[in-house]
């Protein structure tokens, strides 16, 4: 069996690729029958999969080792060439939406394919080609800078992920020093982060203006393929979070302070949950994976098949190491029909969160791998996050395996943290709207704006005199702000949906997992709200839906004697 290390990478010959793609576009336009157009669509998608496969292989191998010079060059190659690839795909979309067989094609492929095509046509023009290349270059610059962290702490060197366990230390002095060291990296490089982001805001605004939009906000929503809601809907959703969830999150922080025997939490206490220590996995990374295999085999036949596929093909790179990019992600290698999971295990409960969260993404695309068109292999981002966050909850029955005597600790922390996260998610989104509505803001003004938004949604935060954070620098660690504008409210929308699956699984509803499986198998064939309905969930935009799940979650948390954990 071919494994990930054996997947062949060959840099695409862009000249030949463009010639072949252009010839197919010409044949499509001249085709005299539906059947011929369908055959050409298959040929075009095959070409797209070839390019996408090499792009993803280069990206994965670059993030696994950002110091690898070969894959850094390949990553730079794709920064330059992806806009040219996008130009060809955009021409394809233009021909699709104007096909004389559009009605028949829509009947065959579904309306969502045409929704995607029509939106993408609105996001591209050859006049923005150089700007797109610059945007890609700046994204890569951010990844390289954030991955370059080498932080000396207690006689050893750590990257950002490696330092995280110390920020959860039982010793308050240690976690204070570790947290300050973590933020010290951002403070030291603050001007560079500001410069990268300032350039990103400017180039994205330039792109939007060239395409005829008032601001990048409009273009950003088109890029995110938001068909059934808009910026006003999101603003109302943020207001609901502020009204209903911020007070609950404040109460949870007060409970945390009581558990820890502190008069008030400081920013370096936020990640420390219990005086007896946070819940941590009781084994090595290999032990976690082995137990994950058993868990997924027991959860369902489908998840068992999926996880064994991932293991057999070595499609997981999980452990933190020097030179590795931060964070975690799941991507898809099209020609191998293979998901890939990337993360930075560091000995905290986050290792289990990754095993379930990223596996939720991977399971979905594994179940959607047989769609003929690439557009349906993934849904839009907020729908994707339903798969990941819900998988975190469906695996709760196995948490005793990973955490043993700390299982209840983990569940309480997991659920309360999921709820407490929502105001932060809203703050990131509101910040981005403000920035792109006011692109001429200076870096200092952006920081000030962040700090005011932070006080609105996260009033409990006490930075204990840390000047960098008091001045509004915390947002610089949030990669989504740099790399994927407006991709963050998605987590909050999905979390409301995932809470519904949590409730169904807690109540042992017979259809809970079958609804989830149905959602995964639908891939991207429907819009976000259509998928929510398809999975027998309620829209997170409805205030009564949000209040209902809050009642369920808060009710559960109130039954837990957290002082005894």
pLDDT tens per residue across span 175-211: 999 999 999 999 999 999 999 999 999 999 999 999 9
Which helix (H) or strand (E) element contains residue 84?
helix 69-97
**Closest of 389, 339, 386 to residue 524, by C-alpha:** 386
Q: How far is CA 290 from the centre of its chain?
A: 25
Q: How confident is the model at residue 245 (pLDDT cuts 50, 70, 90)?
A: very high
pLDDT at 90 over 90: yes
The token duo for 140 is 């890569």
The confidence score (pLDDT) of residue 130 equals: 96
Sign of CA dihedral 323, 332, 429, 166: negative
Query: What is d(CA 359, CA 380) in angstroms, rounded to the nearest whole number?
Result: 17
Longest dimension (CA), the chain: 77
The confidence score (pLDDT) of residue 322 equals: 84
Give the total residue count for the chain: 565
From the CB of residue 558, how many other CB atoms can be counted at a distance below 10 Å? 10
8 Å CB contact between 362 and 329: no
The token duo for 407 is 């299982």
- Across 273-290, average pLDDT: 95
Q: How far is CA 202 from the centre of its chain?
A: 24
**Residue 241 DSSP label:** I
If 0-12 CB within 10 Å is exposed, 13-18 middle and 19+ buried, where does residue 498 land?
buried
The 3-class secondary structure across 269-332, one letter per residue, is: HCCCCCCCCCCCCCCCHHHHHHHHHHHHHHHCHHHHHHHHHHHHCCCEEEECCCCCCCCCEEEE
Q: Backbone dihedral region of 536: left (phi > 0), alpha (psi from -120 to 50 degrees) or beta? A: left
Q: How far is CA 102 from the centre of its chain?
A: 33
- Across 96-105, average pLDDT: 95
The token duo for 76 is 């730079």
Which helix (H) or strand (E) element contains residue 153?
strand 151-153
The token duo for 143 is 């990844």
pLDDT at 326 over 90: no
The confidence score (pLDDT) of residue 503 equals: 96
Q: How far is CA 359 from the centre of its chain?
A: 13
Q: How confident is the model at residue 323 (pLDDT cuts 50, 70, 90)?
A: confident
pLDDT at 327 over 90: no
The confidence score (pLDDT) of residue 206 equals: 98
| Percent of the chain whose predicted confidence (pLDDT) is above 70 | 100
At residue 542, the 3 state secondary structure works out as coil
| pLDDT tens figures, 525-565 | 999 999 999 999 999 999 999 999 999 999 999 999 999 99
Owner of token pair 């915390």: 474
8 Å CB contact between 9 and 54: yes
Backbone phi, then psi, for 345, in 5-degree steps? -55, 135
> Mean pLDDT across the chain, nearest whole number?
96
Q: How confident is the model at residue 147 (pLDDT cuts 50, 70, 90)?
A: confident
Owner of token pair 């220590």: 277
| pLDDT tens figures, 416-428 | 999 999 999 999 9
Q: What secondary structure does DSSP assign to 284-301, as a single string? A: -HHHHHHHHHHHHHHH-H
Q: Backbone dihedral region of 155: left (phi > 0), alpha (psi from -120 to 50 degrees) or beta? A: left
399 Cβ neighbours under 8 A, 6+ residues apart: 352, 407, 410, 411
- Across 325-341, average pLDDT: 95
pLDDT at 233 over 90: yes
The confidence score (pLDDT) of residue 216 equals: 98
pLDDT at 18 over 90: yes
pLDDT at 161 over 90: no
pLDDT at 174 over 90: yes
Cross-strand partners of 151: 158
**Residue 524 DSSP label:** T
How does strand 316-319 pair with strand 338-345?
parallel
The confidence score (pLDDT) of residue 131 equals: 96
8 Å CB contact between 169 and 153: no
pLDDT at 20 over 90: yes
Q: How confident is the model at residue 52 (pLDDT cuts 50, 70, 90)?
A: very high
- Across 327-344, average pLDDT: 96
C-alpha dihedral, 60 to 65 to 67 to 68, nearest 10°: -60
| pLDDT tens figures, 246-273 | 999 999 999 999 999 999 999 999 999 9
How does strand 151-153 pair with strand 316-319?
unpaired
Termini Cα distance of the chain:
46
Query: What is d(CA 546, CA 498) in angstroms, rounded to the nearest whole number?
Result: 11
Query: What is d(CA 137, CA 223) in angstroms, rounded to the nearest whole number?
Result: 18
Q: How confident is the model at residue 472 (pLDDT cuts 50, 70, 90)?
A: very high
Which residue blocks in 6-68 are alpha helix, DSSP H? 14-30, 34-64
């Amino acid at each position: 069996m071919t494994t990930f290390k054996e997947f062949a990478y060959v840099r695409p010959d862009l000249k030949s690729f463009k010639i072949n793609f252009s010839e197919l576009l010409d044949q499509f336009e001249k085709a005299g029958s539906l059947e011929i157009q369908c055959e050409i669509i298959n040929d075009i998608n095959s070409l797209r999969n070839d390019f996408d496969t090499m792009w993803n292989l280069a990206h994965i191998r670059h993030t696994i080792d950002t110091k690898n010079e070969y894959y850094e060059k390949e990553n730079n190659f794709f920064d330059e060439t992806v806009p040219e690839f996008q130009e060809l795909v955009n021409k394809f979309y233009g021909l699709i939406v104007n096909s004389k067989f559009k009605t028949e094609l829509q009947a065959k492929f579904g309306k969502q394919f045409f929704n995607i095509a029509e939106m993408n046509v609105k996001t591209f023009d050859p006049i923005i080609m150089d700007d797109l290349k610059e945007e890609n270059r700046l994204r890569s610059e951010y990844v390289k800078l954030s991955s370059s962290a080498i932080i000396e702490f207690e006689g050893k060197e750590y990257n950002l992920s490696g330092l995280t366990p110390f920020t959860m230390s039982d010793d308050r002095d240690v976690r204070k020093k570790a947290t300050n060291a973590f933020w010290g990296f951002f403070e030291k490089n603050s001007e560079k982060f500001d410069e990268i982001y300032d350039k990103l805001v400017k180039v994205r605004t330039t792109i939007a203006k060239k395409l005829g939009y008032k601001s990048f906000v409009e273009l950003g929503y088109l890029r995110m393929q938001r068909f059934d809601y808009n910026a006003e809907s999101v603003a109302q959703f943020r207001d609901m979070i502020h009204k209903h969830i911020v007070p609950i999150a404040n109460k949870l922080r007060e409970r945390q302070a009581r558990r820890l025997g502190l008069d008030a939490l400081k920013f370096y206490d936020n990640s420390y949950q219990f005086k007896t220590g946070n819940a941590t996995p009781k084994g090595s990374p290999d032990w976690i994976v082995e137990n994950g295999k058993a868990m997924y085999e027991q959860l369902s036949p489908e998840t068992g098949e999926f996880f064994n596929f991932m293991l057999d093909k070595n499609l997981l790179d999980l452990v933190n190491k020097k030179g590795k990019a931060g964070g975690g992600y799941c991507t898809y290698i099209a020609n191998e029909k293979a998901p890939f999971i990337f993360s930075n295990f560091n000995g905290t409960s986050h290792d289990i969160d990754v095993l379930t969260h990223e596996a939720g993404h991977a399971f979905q695309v594994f179940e959607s791998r047989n769609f003929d068109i690439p557009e349906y292999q993934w849904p839009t981002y907020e729908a994707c996050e339903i798969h990941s966050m819900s998988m975190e909850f469906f695996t709760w029955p196995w948490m005793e395996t990973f955490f043993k005597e700390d299982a209840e600790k983990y569940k309480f922390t997991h659920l309360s943290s999921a709820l407490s996260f929502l105001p932060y998610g809203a703050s990131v989104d509101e910040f981005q709207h403000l920035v792109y509505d006011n692109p001429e803001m200076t870096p200092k003004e952006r920081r000030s704006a962040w700090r005011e938004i932070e006080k609105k949604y996260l009033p409990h935060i006490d930075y204990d005199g840390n000047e960098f954070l008091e001045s509004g620098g915390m947002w610089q660690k949030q990669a989504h702000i740099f790399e994927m504008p407006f991709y963050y409210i998605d987590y909050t929308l999905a979390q409301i949906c995932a809470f519904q699956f949590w409730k169904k699984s807690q109540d042992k509803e017979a259809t809970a997992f079958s609804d989830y499986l149905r959602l995964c198998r639908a891939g991207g064939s429907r819009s976000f709200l259509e998928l929510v309905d398809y999975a027998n969930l309620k829209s997170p935009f409805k205030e009564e839906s949000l209040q209902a799940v809050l009642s369920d979650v808060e009710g559960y948390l109130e039954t837990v004697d957290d002082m005894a954990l």
